[in-house]
Amino acid sequence: MLKILSTLAIGRSYWLLLFIWGSALETTALYYQYALDEWPCVLCIHVRILVMGVILLSLFGTVFKLPRRAISVFHGLNSLLLAWLLERSWHLLGVERGFIFGSCNMESGLPGWFALDKWFPLIFEVQASCGYTPELLFGVTMAEALLVMSGALLLLSLLMLVLSFRRESRSG
């Protein structure tokens, strides 16, 4: 099993699966926004931005043949993005459940040089205040699902990071 994961850590398949996961997440968010009128709050927009970062990183990892050191850097960057996604997901759940207060407004908080909400308002514009996330399936809310997914993917990403170094040191 470790050998399979080590191979996955340096190959393109992992990045392709991550790209598919991220694309499915973004598509689901846009479906909920435009088909079901569930408008995004600032924390939802932060989640979208982080997922888009994972998508872009995984796209590079899928399309380009990366040298071994770059693969480790990509796994490190992916782990940072997923850790930040886990933090935002926890925050979103905290606002939804009421154990985090007063940290949500209608401003994206993005700097002028990174004004995604102005450049791509159909995807990144804050349109609702925080307080709840829609229910997906079986009573699981979007915040709960995001927390579980981001935690699991962070653990997987950290494992891939470790295995990319392990693989690198064996072949070097």
Question: Residue 145 has what pLDDT?
Answer: 93
Question: Residue 167 has what pLDDT?
Answer: 45
Q: Tokens in use for 99?
A: 């154990």
Helix (H, G, I), strand (E, B) or coil at 5: helix
pLDDT digits (tens, 9 = 90+) for 47-99: 999 999 999 999 998 888 877 788 889 999 999 999 999 999 999 898 888 78
Give the distance from CA 118 to its chain's centroid: 21
Q: How far apart are CA 9 and CA 159, in angstroms?
A: 8
DSSP 142: H
| CB 143, CB 92: distance < 8 Å | yes
Q: How far apart are CA 28 and CA 32, in angstroms?
A: 6
Domains, the chain, in order of start with CATH, read: 2-171 (1.20.1550.10)
| CB 169, CB 6: distance < 8 Å | no
Question: Residue 144 has what pLDDT?
Answer: 92
pLDDT exceeds cutoff 50 at 20: yes
